[in-house]
Structures are given as structure tokens and as C-alpha cells.
């Protein structure tokens, strides 16, 4: 699998979408029950295929990510071919992004800001997936815009 199988809770939240996905592939409720009963490995394969479909759709829409780690705040812009990162590093740890930003406004000389860009490895969706699984959150990109100037 390129990403991961959706959890039971995630699948429950996407039940309507899963039913539509299966219908598009010619599998109605009765056929699905038969597949689960008679060929559990095939049922798992369908869930994995649906999971891939969902993640592909989500990651194709992601433009900005952020990751906060105490004294380091990373902002990412996920363009089509290149990911750009702004790293804001403070000398001490902070409990929240808001606390870090407030400290930065009060004493900007205590922070180091670095910028970098690179191509995706191995590809855009896989890299975004790895980042999200490592704790990055999708953001609106406002702070990236502020710090990119």
C-alpha cells in the first residue's frame, strides 16, 4: 500500500462514501456482505483500495502544512513540484504556537528563521502522507504567507 488502511473509526465516518465507491465498482450491499463472508482477503483489498482513493483525494488538495515541536515551528507550502519550508527556531521551548509567536513579537532577536525548498521524495502525496503521519497538520497558510516575505 502507498499509504495505510483507514481505521475502523475512519471508515465509519466515511460510510456513505464507501457505499458510493463500491456501487461505482458494481458491488451492492448484498454482494459486499458475500465478499466479506466468503473472501475476507478480497474484502480487505477493497478497503485498501478505498483507503488509497480517499488519501489521494485528500493529499491532492493540501497546500499548507505546519508542525510545532516546542522550540521549533515548521511551516510548509506544498506546491505541485516543490515543497517550501520556513523553520522558526527559538532558544527555549514553548507550550503552544501562540506562546511562541507572542515571544517572537516581544523579542524577535531570540529566534532564527530559515527557509528552504526541495523536490518531493519520492512523490508529493507520499511525502505529505509521511509528514501528516509524523504530526504535521493541514493549515490555511496564513502564517507561511507572513513569514515568507
- Sheet order of strands, 72-78 included: 111-119, 82-90, 72-78, 64-68, 137-138
State residue 1's pLDDT score.
86
Q: Which residue has the cell 475476507?
A: 40
State residue 60's pLDDT score.
95
Q: From the first residue on, what is the mean pLDDT of each consecutive set of 10 residues in the chain (149 residues)? A: 94 96 96 96 97 96 96 97 97 93 93 97 95 97 93
Determine contact, residues 90/103, Cβ cutoff 8 Å.
yes
Question: What are the angstrom distances between the C-alpha of 41 and each of 9, 17, 24, 27, 45?
Answer: 20, 21, 20, 16, 6
Residue 53 grid cell: 482513493
Instruction: List residues bridging with 87 in a β-sheet.
Output: 74, 114
Q: How many CB atoms lie within 10 A of CB 50?
A: 19
The C-alpha atoms of residue 62 and residue 87 are separated, in whole angstroms, by 19
Residue 124 grid cell: 508529493
Residue/partner pairs of 129-135 with CB below 8 Å, 24 or more apart:
129/2, 129/3, 129/55, 129/59, 131/65, 131/67, 131/76, 132/65, 133/4, 134/67, 135/67, 135/69
Amino acid at each position: 500500500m502507498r499509504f495505510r488502511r483507514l481505521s475502523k473509526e475512519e471508515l465509519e465516518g466515511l460510510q456513505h462514501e464507501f457505499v458510493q465507491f463500491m456501487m461505482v465498482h458494481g458491488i451492492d450491499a448484498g454482494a459486499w456482505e458475500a465478499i466479506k463472508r466468503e473472501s475476507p482477503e478480497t474484502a480487505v483489498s477493497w478497503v485498501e483500495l478505498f483507503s488509497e482513493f480517499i488519501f489521494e483525494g485528500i493529499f491532492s488538495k493540501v497546500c499548507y502544512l505546519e508542525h510545532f515541536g516546542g522550540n521549533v515551528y515548521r511551516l510548509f507550502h506544498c506546491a505541485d513540484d516543490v515543497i517550501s519550508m520556513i523553520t522558526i527556531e527559538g532558544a527555549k521551548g514553548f507550550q503552544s504556537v501562540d506562546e511562541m509567536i507572542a515571544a517572537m513579537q516581544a523579542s524577535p532577536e531570540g529566534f532564527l528563521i530559515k527557509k528552504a525548498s526541495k523536490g518531493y521524495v519520492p512523490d508529493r502525496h507520499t511525502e505529505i502522507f509521511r509528514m501528516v503521519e509524523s504530526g504535521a497538520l493541514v493549515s490555511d497558510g496564513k502564517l507561511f504567507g507572513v513569514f515568507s516575505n
